Amino acid sequence: MMKEALLDAAEAVLFEHGGRALTLNAVAERAGVSKGGLLYHFPNKEALVQALVARVIAEFDELIGSFDDGGPGSYTRAYVLATFEILTGEARAHRRWSAITAAATDPELAEPLNEAMGRWHKRPCGEDPDPATAMVVRLAAEGLWEVLSHSPGLYDQAELTALRERLLALASG
């Protein structure tokens, strides 16, 4: 529980103040713990960033799995549904942006996220009715996530719902 609170604090620091502001002192202060309390869970900044990245990957994998029913095209539909689940959930909306920002300074820290992106986007599309359309749908969802990371209020709920439904219809063939 404390680890999650520390990761939440790190995300808040990153989202509100950017990558340069991510220090162990800033995270400890934001979480309301001593620096020693933070160091108990994360011995250095790199360990904290690795945990941020791992949490983003695990959360997205879990969401995809929860929506994937195994039928034709289900992975791409699950990808879209997982993306919109995160984009419309305020607490999680900026996790990936925060993890990417934190990891961007060190290619080694970014490697797990790069591998996950490859797995998510280069998944064989053989089970999709139209593999090329499936790739386009996943890339569109990815692009929407990127845009909303920088401009969260750009689309209202009705527009997001329409986008989600359109992407799901495309994924279904």
Query: For 107-118, what is each residue's pLDDT tens digit?
Result: 888 899 899 999
Query: For 22-70, what is each residue's pLDDT tens digit?
Result: 899 999 999 999 999 999 999 999 999 999 999 989 989 999 999 999 8
Going by C-alpha positions, the residue among 147, 140, 146, 144 that lies closest to residue 170 is: 140
Between the alpha carbon of residue 22 and those of residues 18, 43, 47, 58, 105, the distances in Å are 7, 15, 13, 22, 12
Helix count and strand count (H, E) for the chain: 9, 0
